[in-house]
């Protein structure tokens, strides 16, 4: 089996209700940046939600990402698609992205995960960015 297939299986298993976190402090479904990149390369890209500031987003972002800054997330979370794979990312402490993840879980979203190594992990691997 290829690494992509294995990572996909892990993602699917973790997305099932048996593994999903409930309530604050529950587990958080994660997507490795390597798997997110592979999906992008294969034409199966998730919807990336960039939680960094609007200024940071304007400078550079993951390909086809949408901006919903953490400071606006409580008011704008409904902009996150309820269908299809969604990956949240930022350049913030884990507890901040966990809060955004939990808001979505509490609203019934089951299609979300977090790119735990975030924007910085994407850059460290030398993956492509969109820039203005």
**pLDDT for 59-81, tens place per residue?**
999 999 999 999 999 999 999 99
pLDDT, residue 58, reads 97
pLDDT at position 28, please? 94
Task: Give residue 132's pLDDT.
Answer: 86
- Domain boundaries along the sequence of the chain: 3-131
Judge contact between 45 and 63, C-beta under 8 A: yes
pLDDT at 3: 54
Specify the fold of 3-131. Oxidized Rhodanese; domain 1 (3.40.250)
Which residues of the chain carry a pLDDT beneath 70?
Answer: 1-26
pTM of the model: 0.81
H/E stretch holding 16 reads: none
Q: Taking Cα atoms as reference points, which of 83, 120, 77 lies closest to residue 102? A: 77
Structure tokens at 37: 């990149």
């Amino acid at each position: 089996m290829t690494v992509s297939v294995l990572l996909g299986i892990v993602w699917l298993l973790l997305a099932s209700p048996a593994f999903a976190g409930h309530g604050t402090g529950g587990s958080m479904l994660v997507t490795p940046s390597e798997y997110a990149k592979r999906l992008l390369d294969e034409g199966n890209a998730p919807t990336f939600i960039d939680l960094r500031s609007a200024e940071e987003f304007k400078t550079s972002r993951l390909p086809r990402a949408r901006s919903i800054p953490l400071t606006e997330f409580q008011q704008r979370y409904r902009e996150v698609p309820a269908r299809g794979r969604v990956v949240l990312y930022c350049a913030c402490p884990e507890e901040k992205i966990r809060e955004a993840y939990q808001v979505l879980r509490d609203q019934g979203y089951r299609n979300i995960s977090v790119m735990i190594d975030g924007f910085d992990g994407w850059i460290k691997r030398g993956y492509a960015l969109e820039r203005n």
